[in-house]
Amino acid sequence: MIEFLVAAAGFILAMVALGLARVLRGPAEVDRMMAAQLIGTGGIAVLLLLAAARGVPAAVDVGLTLSLLAAFASVAFVKGASPSELDEAGGR
């Protein structure tokens, strides 16, 4: 069972690596943002699997933190990529 969980974590990590190919290639900034989102979710899955397999329950807390911070970072990315649609810089 432990071996299976580690293998599953490795498999999802490989998926994350493939997702990185989209970050590298692009071509648009949205593609990179989506790949970052996938990496975040895949990362959380890997963390949860590792927590169960290695008996490191604190890794679940890392996953919890990551889920919040990933949402926050993605919002910042979306705003950074398309500033005119979502907000306007305040006046001097």
Partner 1 sequence: MTTATAFNLGLAVLVMVLACWTVLARGAFAATVGFVAYGLLLAFIWIRLGAVDVALTEAAIGGGLSGVLMLGAAARLRASEALIAAETIAAGRRLWAAALSAVTALALVTSVLLLPDPAPTLAPAAAENAAATTLGNPVTNVLMAFRALDTMLEKVVLLLALVGVWSLGPDRFWGGRLGPRHRVDPEGMLVFLAQLLPPAGVVVGIYVFWVGANAPGGAFQGGTILAAMWLLAMMAGLTDTPPSGSRRARLVLVAGPSAFLIVGLGGLWLGEAFLAYPLAYAKALILGIEFAMVPTIAVTLGLLLAGPPDRSAQS
Partner 2 sequence: MNMAIVSDIFTIAAVSAGAFFFLAGTVGLLRFPDVLTRLHALTKADNLGLGLVVLGLLPRTDGLLSALKLISIWLLVLLGGGIITQLIATSARRGGPPE
**Of 90, 86, 63, which is closest to residue 76 (Cα–Cα)?**
86
Residues 9-28 that bind partner 2 (CB under 8 A): 11-12, 15-16, 18-19, 21-22, 26-28
Q: Least distance to partner 1 from the beta carbon of 21, Å? A: 10
The answer to whether 10 touches 55, Cβ cutoff 8 Å, is: no
Query: CB neighbours of 39 closer than 8 A, spacing ≥ 6?
Result: 16, 19, 20, 23
Phi, psi dihedral angles at 90 (to 5 degrees): -65, 160
* Cα angle 40, 29, 43; round to 5: 10
Q: Is 1 in the site for partner 1 (CB under 8 A)?
A: no
Give the residue with the Cβ less far from partner 2, 48 or 91: 48
Give the footprint of partner 2 on this chain (CB under 8 A).
1, 4-5, 8, 11-12, 15-16, 18-19, 21-22, 26-31, 33-35, 37-38, 41-42, 44-45, 48-49, 52, 57, 60-61, 63-64, 67-68, 70-71, 74-75, 78, 81-82, 85-86
